[in-house]
Chain A
Amino acid sequence: MLFLRQTFTVTAKDLRSELRTKEAVNASLSFALVILILFSFAFDPTSETTREIAGGLLWLVFAFAGVLVLNRSFARELPNDCLEALISSPVPGAALFLGKALANYVLLLAIEVVCLPVFGVFYNVTWYSQPGQLALVLVLATWGVTVVGTVFSALTVNLRLREVMLPMLVYPVLIPCLMAAMQLTTTLIAGDPIAGDQLAWLRLIIGFDIIFTSLAVLLIDTVLIG
């Protein structure tokens, strides 16, 4: 119970400070929109082509925009030695990590929810034909992205080239999760439900989430404290 309360306290603190400054969310959202527009030059944005690559497109946008949020997650604590204060507070490392991951998760989901209709309007795609399953894929795959991203955010927080290092390290690890999400999202945006072979992708995301959440919780004390 105490653990959960500590986790939510950290989440609330992170969300509050983010909502007051809006630095990560603003940057991330406008970046996502810029990429969405840039993609229209990369291929012929007719409905046929767009429908075929919709999943890949969306998840690339989410992954790019997500890294901006994740980069700030631990970097925000560097001024005034806030990270040291957090680590020396009576909150266990796992609660600190999960709290931060949850805050990032909420922010990422919010950005995705804004991007989806914009994408639908710009590319003339009916993305809401399978709302329940699309929500499921977003919820599961975003957690995978968040949990891995938050570990690497903690890992790279003290590095000189933090902004460059995080995407370089995190994208290869995210490939299985992103690939599964892309496959499923493409199917769902085309209007088909997840069935048959597609279920394997869903299982892959769930497995990815479980394994990397447990690894992250196990390793985070090592990363933060030593």
Chain B
Amino acid sequence: MRKHLLLTAGIAASLLLARNIWVMLTQLPDEAFQGAIFRIIFFHVPAAFTCFLCFLASLIAGLAYLKTRKLGYDAFSVSVIEVGLAFGAVNLITGMIWARIIWGIWWTWDWRLTSMLICWLLYAGYLVLRRAIEEPTERAKMSAVMSILNFSVVPFVFFSIKWFRTQHPQPVLFGDGKMDSGYRAMLYGNWAPLLIVAAILISIRYAQEKQQREIDALRREAHMI
């Protein structure tokens, strides 16, 4: 049943993505100043949204774990962080490709780039911490604490680095930047398939984590015999 659901969702996401890419390439005109490369924004921005949604989910899962001590929340937390990091990487890499063409450089220490990279490193640290702890409940506890500390520092990272000068385009949705409604519809329209892909990946990782726990329990039992 779960397998069928995932398969259906996967097919839906692929169809939606194929349709979006077709519309992007054939229907939407080139942007006046940037030309063809601007289309990368339809992946760049939704990937960042997905990434931070995942980090937020990990905060909630961390709090829920500390409250209930159910290891399922821990499994969920690590799944969303791994997927969040993947989407964060998509955001960083698409941004670098865009920057290479528009700015002429792969990387610049602009606040948005820098703060995204720091957030990415923060959550990469979470995964490194997990690897270093063997005992499952200990690992879950420390990871939950780490996800709370990590998420609390994210606003600080953003505000502090924002006070440096910036050359990143203004936020098009909540900031001063302007965006044509056709483009805006595509931005949200392309977020949907990316969210579905994220949900599928999280669901697969979650199942794997649960399986891992069962294997560990069986192994311990075998040792006792």
Contacts and interface: CB of A to CB of B under 8 A. Distances in A.
A165 B153 contact: no
Contacts of B149: 148, 151, 173, 212, 215, 219
Interface string A20-33: 00000000000000
A80 to B, nearest CB: 21
A155 B132 CA distance: 11
A172 to B, nearest CB: 5
Interface string A166-177: 001100110111
B160 A169 contact: no
A223 interface: yes
Interface in B132-158: 132-133, 137-138, 141-142, 144-146, 148-150, 152-153, 156-157
A71 B132 CA distance: 16
A76 to B, nearest CB: 20
Contacts of A155: 129, 142, 145-146
B125 interface: yes
Most chain B CB atoms below 10 A, which of A148, A168, A175, A211? A175
Interface string B105-142: 00000000000001001100100110011000110011
Chain B binding surface SS class: helix
A176 B66 CA distance: 27
Given A159-B133, A172-B118, A215-B149, A204 B128 contact: no
A176 B145 contact: no
B77 to A, nearest CB: 15
Interface in B28-56: none
Most chain A CB atoms below 10 A, which of B66, B132, B152? B132
A223 B129 CA distance: 14
Contacts of B174: none
A176 B157 contact: yes
A222 interface: yes
Contacts of B145: 155, 219, 222-223
Contacts of A98: none
Contacts of A148: 149
Contact of B142 (A172, A212, A223): A223
Interface of A: 148, 151, 155-156, 158-161, 165, 168-169, 172-173, 175-177, 179-180, 197, 200-201, 204, 207-208, 211-212, 215, 219, 222-223, 226
9 contacts: A156-B132, A169-B129, A172-B121, A173-B150, A176-B157, A180-B160, A201-B160, A204-B160, A215-B148
